[in-house]
């Protein structure tokens, strides 16, 4: 059996949100009115920015479904340039990165994922971008780089995903003992009752058999 089957399946599986009073009554009233106007104006401004960004993101999703990578890239670029403080920009970058990777443009996909990590304040988006970047590096044969990217202190609800990634990286590097241990950590970090435990168990058992055959 090909010793890289396990990590190939892991890679394939992974291919398949943001943020004092004046000295007289007259001055106080003026300041108060000014503040109200300012707040309302700012809310109107931000609401409209969010609506515009949301509309653009919907267009991006439509083009993504229709398979137009060029249109997806153009809209995602507009979101990054003009609406980078919104979650739509980061989500758009994630979509573009996936499409670029599918089309074999690994360098551009890597650039999009790094941009997302640098510009998002949303923990979930950050974790997803980090995991995808690590798998990208693993798919490019850079197991050590993948492990470095996945070295996070507080993985939170993504602990099992990170452990599974480590298992794939260790397996890729030929360190079967570390990979088996990582699979155990991934299984332990799953939510109780998760059916994914069977898949991880099967991968771990196959890796154990491969390790024994190699020895």
**Measured between alpha carbons, how far apart are the two ends of the chain, in Å?**
14
Lowest mean pLDDT among 24-33, 78-87, 108-117, 138-147: 24-33
Encoded tokens for 1: 């059996």
Average pLDDT over residues 95-106: 90
**How much is the pTM?**
0.73
Domains of the chain: 5-16+21-214 (1.25.40.10)
Q: What is the DSSP letter of 191?
A: P
Query: What are the CA-CA distances from residue 116 to residues 109, 159, 177 (Å)?
Result: 11, 20, 33
Of 196 and 28, more confident: 196
Give the mean model confidence (pLDDT) for residues 74-90.
88
């Amino acid at each position: 059996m090909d010793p890289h089957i396990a990590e190939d399946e892991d890679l394939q599986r992974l291919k398949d949100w943001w943020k004092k009073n004046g000295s007289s009554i007259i001055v106080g009233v003026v300041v108060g009115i000014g503040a109200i106007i300012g707040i309302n104006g700012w809310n109107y401004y931000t609401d409209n920015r969010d609506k515009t960004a949301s509309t653009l993101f919907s267009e991006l999703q439509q083009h993504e479904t229709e398979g137009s990578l060029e249109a997806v890239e153009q809209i995602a670029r507009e979101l990054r340039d003009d609406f980078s403080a919104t979650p739509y920009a980061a989500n758009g970058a994630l979509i573009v990165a996936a499409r670029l990777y599918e089309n074999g443009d690994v360098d551009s996909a890597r650039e999009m994922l790094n941009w997302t990590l640098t510009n998002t304040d949303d923990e979930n988006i950050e974790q997803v971008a980090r995991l995808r970047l690590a798998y990208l590096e693993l798919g490019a044969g850079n197991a050590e780089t993948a492990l470095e990217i996945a070295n996070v202190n507080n993985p939170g609800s993504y602990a099992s995903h990170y452990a599974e990634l480590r298992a794939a990286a260790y397996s890729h590097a030929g360190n079967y003992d570390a990979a088996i241990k990582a699979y155990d950590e991934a299984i332990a970090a799953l939510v109780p009752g998760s059916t994914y435990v069977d898949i991880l168990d099967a991968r771990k058992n196959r890796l154990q058999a491969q390790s024994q055959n190699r020895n």
